[in-house]
Amino acid sequence: MDFHANEGKSVVIEAAGKKYARHAIATHFVQVGESYIDLIEKYVKPVYQPGDILSSSEKVIALCQGRVVTEDECKPGFWAKFLSRFVHQTSAGPGMGLPVKMQFAINVCGLGRVIWAAICAGFGKLVGKRGVFYDMLGTEVSGLDGFYGEDIPEYEHMGVRVPSHPEKVCDEVFEKTGVVMMIVDANDLNVELLGKGEQLKSWTDETLLSLIRDNPAGQDRQLTPFVLIREVE
């Protein structure tokens, strides 16, 4: 099989002293409520071999689980509009700089906790420390995607939350399909491991993340939520 890399990405990467080839698997545009088992059976199983590792985008799993939030559920109030003005925007997108996302954080964590995190983040910037706000509020806030339609118009009015019980999802996928999987939240600035199957417990998180440290799935509308990873000579 010919391995395919998205534009600007390499097929082969070196990690932990070995070489691995990554194949970005294209799918249709996945809708809310689809079955991730069916997706893996259709798109991954035809190219999967024993020993391969599947890296799955957290977004596709969350969509299948129905883990979405609408604008109507996150109508920005005063504090969301006020606090979002102070958020530093990165090349990965506006993040909590969008009032609707800030309102989601307030809904999930409570106003007091969000204000305290914002204050601590301000002090953090003074000493050159970034990411304090997200570190304090956790993955549920830092992992929220969507409400931004520049790259994917379908997400302009919808937020996609982090998946529920990602490790259980990986174990279910192996049980039903035989595919060894990890679920990651990745962009061109950072990659985070959300869950891995029981078969990968002997792998350190750092080693697994080193296999996709350049975000081979891409950040725009590549429609490649699955990346097949295979050791090569």
Whether pLDDT at 53 is above 90: yes
Q: Is the pLDDT of residue 89 over 70?
A: no
CB-side neighbour CA atoms (13 Å) of 175: 7
User: 1-5, 33-37, 162-166: which range is least confident on average?
Assistant: 1-5
> Which bin fits 202, alpha (ψ -120 to 50), beta or left (φ > 0)?
alpha
Q: Is the pLDDT of residue 221 over 90?
A: no
Confidence of residue 226 (pLDDT cuts 50, 70, 90): very high
| CA nearest to 108, candidates 162, 167, 166 | 162
State the average pLDDT over residues 19-41. 94
User: Per-residue confidence at 196, pLDDT binned at 50, 70, 90?
Assistant: very high
Q: What is the model's pLDDT at position 155?
A: 78
Alpha carbons 190 and 219: distance in angstroms, whole number: 11
| Cα 120 from chain centroid (whole Å) | 25
User: Per-residue pLDDT for 74 more than 70?
Assistant: yes
Query: What pTM does this model have?
Result: 0.87
Residue 185, SS3? strand
Query: How buried is 47 (Cβ within 10 angstroms: 0-12 exposed, 13-18 middle, 19+ buried)?
Result: middle
CA torsion, ordered 71, 72, 74, 78, to nearest 10 deg: 110
In the sheet that holds 68-70, the strands lie side by side as 68-70, 158-160, 145-146
